[in-house]
């Protein structure tokens, strides 16, 4: 397969993998124990699960979008010619 036929370059795939990793970290931060009908677990209202994890996940999704839109300098130079 010719490299010119690929939609993404090596840098795009690396940035995409980093973004997916950040999203996974955000979802892991959101996970945890839950309350049942008989036992209440106050950790469901912790700052980590309500504030930190959604922000980390959002940053991951934004970095994935950035990885998709990123265009390396070599590709810009090749298109100009």
Domains of the chain, residue spans: 11-80
Cβ neighbours of residue 48 closer than 8 Å, sequence gap 6 or more = 29
Give this prediction's pTM: 0.79
Model confidence pLDDT, tens digit, residues 40-71: 888 888 889 999 999 999 999 999 999 999 98
Per-residue model confidence (pLDDT) at position 1: 55
Angle at CA 37, nearest 5°, toward 41 and 31? 40
H helices present in the chain, as ranges: 10-30, 47, 53-69, 73-80
Convert the pLDDT of each residue in 2-47 to its tens digit. Answer: 566 778 889 999 999 999 999 999 999 999 877 788 888 888 888 8
Q: Cα angle at 59 between 6 and 19, to 5 degrees?
A: 30
| Predicted local confidence at residue 3, as pLDDT | 60
């Amino acid at each position: 397969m010719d490299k010119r036929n690929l939609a993404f370059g090596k840098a795009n795939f690396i940035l995409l993998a980093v973004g997916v990793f950040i999203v996974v970290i955000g979802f892991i931060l959101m996970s945890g124990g839950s309350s049942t009908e008989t036992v209440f677990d106050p950790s469901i209202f912790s700052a980590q699960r309500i504030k930190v994890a959604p922000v980390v996940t959002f940053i991951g999704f934004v970095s994935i979008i950035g990885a998709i839109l990123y265009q390396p300098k070599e590709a810009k130079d090749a298109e100009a010619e």
